[in-house]
Amino acid sequence: MVYGRQILQRWYDEAWNTHQENMQLINRLENMANQDALTATANRRALDNFLAQAWERKEPLALIILDVDFLNVITTTTVTRPVITASPASPQC
């Protein structure tokens, strides 16, 4: 009976370790999905999640939206990583 318990304990420990590793990977992927790769700031998905949570909590909220002209000039002078240029926004935006 002791041998069977050891096998079960080993299986449980391996399953728990695998679960922990998977949870770390999931957290890492969620962070990557909510962060802009170029600027390392929150992206639209993160904003949508934040607004949904604020709406559910029924908290007062102020939202400021900025449109930065010549963003390419800013990113090429301040970012040390390779720069990915964005195409100009269409007039419908």
Q: Tell me whether residue 80 is in a domain.
A: no
Handedness of CA 20, 26, 30, 31 (dihedral sign): positive
Residue 68: per-residue pLDDT: 76
Residue 67: per-residue pLDDT: 77
Q: Tell me whether residue 76 is in a domain.
A: no
Number of structural domains the chain divides into: 1
Q: Tell me whether residue 21 is in a domain.
A: yes
| Tokens coding 48 | 């949508």
Predicted confidence (pLDDT) per residue in 19-75, tens digit: 999 999 999 999 999 998 888 889 999 999 999 999 999 988 888 887 777 776 766
Could you tell me the pLDDT band of residue 85, with boundaries at 50, 70 and 90?
A: low
Q: Tell me whether residue 15 is in a domain.
A: yes
Among residues 39, 36, 35, the alpha carbon closest in space to that of 74 is found at 39
Domain residues for the domain of 20 are 2-62
The more confident residue out of 9 and 90 is 9
The more confident residue out of 69 and 6 is 6
